[in-house]
Amino acid sequence: MITGAAQMEGAILVVAATDGAMPQTREHLLLTKQVGIPKENICVFINKADEVTDKETRELVEMEIREVLSQYQFDGDNIPVIFGSALCALEGKMPEIGEQAVKQLLDTMDEKFIIPNRNTTTEPLFPAEHVYQIKGRGTVITGKLERGVLKKGDKVEILGYDKEGIKSVITGLESFHKTVDQAEPGDQLGVLLRGLGPKDVRRGTVLVPQGHNHKATDKAKAQLYVLKHEEGGGKTPLANYFSEHVFSLTWDIGAVIKITGKDFIMPGEAAEVELRLVNKMFIEPQQRFTIRKDQKTIGTGVFTEVLPSMTEDEKDKRVLKKAMKAEMERLGFNPYGEMVEKRLKPDYSNAPKDNPMAKEFQGEQA
């Protein structure tokens, strides 16, 4: 869901009238902000209206949703809220909350949603969402053109997952089952490429023009915000050398987090960090990312500076383990979990006693 959300330009927040705002509601709103959806391009559909018929309960649900929207800096007072029932629409029952409500939702999107500004003058960027091998024709990559213009015959290169220098030519463009000669930002496309092997491209790689100025990297500086528990995040802080999963554009990959100038990032705090990725990926300044752990979004951020790729020493897992062990011994407790402590066997004999931060990680060790 996270990488798919990176393709979005509008959102319908669906909430069950029987449940109201749930933890997932907050997470979806956070992701909506994270991928840069314009504040005008969101509306609410309160589903299961056939199960909640009294006016007072409906008003309470709507009031709660508007409050949550406002908490995430959306215009909670004015965002359209529509009550309906998807089941009734499918079964042709109660048209006022079935078919008519769905039509009202579509009309609202047509009237209220704005078309984002399209950047057609810069070089193209096309993140791969799905990849298909078409026997006898070539490789088809599907996704959304983020910026620039693509044309049939354009010479392109693939970046990401340590792939560099893999070049190809666009032999066909298709949008919604129609062949097109040119594609513009926001278009959902199938791009046919020739001369690629099955391992040359995968989800998360990007197409850029040959002669581009980008260089894939596995190291970058970023500004990271750690979510509070009330925002759907975790309860424990982030410590140096935590390994988490990073999502950006259509790629997701493991990464080690190094915090700049402090030992921890508490929930609700922001800090400068350095992210070290498992593979070299396409990264550029102002590119947004999300960090997830245990099926939960725990942080969001933006890349601020692309750094040279890691040295062989920096990639060495033994160096990372040594750094984590030294960090535990310096802090006087283990912020990484029981299994890590068993493997690394830190010596706490010279460590400070009763570090007040230790209690923040007690739930993590349980």
Q: What is the pLDDT of residues 38-63, one digit of tens each?
A: 888 999 999 999 999 889 999 999 99
Q: Is residue 332 part of a domain?
A: yes
Please write the tens of the pLDDT for every residue from 232-286: 788 889 999 999 899 999 999 999 999 999 999 999 899 999 999 999 999 999 9
Q: How far apart are CA 277 and CA 309, in angstroms?
A: 10
Q: Is residue 118 part of a domain?
A: no
Q: 255 with 204, same domain?
A: no
- Is the pLDDT at 289 greater than 80, yes or no? yes
229 & 304 share domain:
yes
Does residue 10 sit in the same domain as residue 103?
A: yes
In a domain, 119, yes or no: no
Distance between CA atoms of residues 237 and 217, nearest Å: 27
Is-contact 73 33, C-beta < 8 A? yes
State the pLDDT at residue 124.
Answer: 94
Q: How many CB atoms are closer than 10 A to CB 211?
A: 8
CA distance linking residue 105 with residue 48, whole number of Å: 15
Q: Which of 138, 241, 142, 255 is nearest to 189 (CA)?
A: 142
* CA 363 – CA 37 distance, rounded (Å): 35
Q: Total domain count for the chain? A: 4
Query: In angstroms, rounded to a whole number, what is the distance separating the alpha carbons of residues 16 and 21?
Result: 8
Angle made by CA atoms 229, 255, 307, in degrees to the nearest 5: 115
Residue 120 in any domain: the answer is: no
Pair of tokens at residue 76: 């909670």
DSSP 8-state code for residue 325: H
Share of the chain above pLDDT 90, in %: 63
Q: Where residue 283 sits, what CATH number does that domain have?
A: 2.40.30.10
Using DSSP bridges, classify how beta strands 42-47 and 81-83 pair: parallel, antiparallel or unpaired: parallel
pLDDT of residue 31: 77
- Same domain? 249 vs 278: yes
**Average pLDDT of 129-153?**
92
Instruction: Give the per-residue pLDDT at 1.
Output: 45
> Considering the domain boundaries, does residue 121 fall inside one?
no
For the residues 204-215, what does the mean pLDDT come to? 92
Q: Has residue 196 got a pLDDT over 60?
A: yes
Does the pLDDT at position 144 exceed 80?
yes
pLDDT of residue 7: 57
Decide if pLDDT at 366 tops 50: no
Last residue of a domain, one of 209, 227, 258: 209
pLDDT tens digits, residue range 71-85? 888 999 999 999 999
- For residue 186, the 8-state DSSP code is T
What was the pLDDT predicted at 296? 83
Task: Tell me which H or E stretch contains 341.
Answer: helix 338-344
The per-residue pLDDT for 27 is: 79
Task: Write out the H or E segment, with its range, that includes residue 299.
Answer: strand 296-306
* Neighbouring-strand partners of residue 182: 151
What is the spatial distance between Cα 77 and Cα 73, in angstroms, rounded to a whole number?
11
157 and 223 in a single domain? The answer is no
Full residue range of the structural domain in which residue 253 is found: 217-313
Structure tokens at 55: 């006016």
pLDDT in tens, 82-117: 999 999 999 999 999 999 999 999 999 999 998 877
Q: For 157-174, what is the mean pLDDT?
A: 92
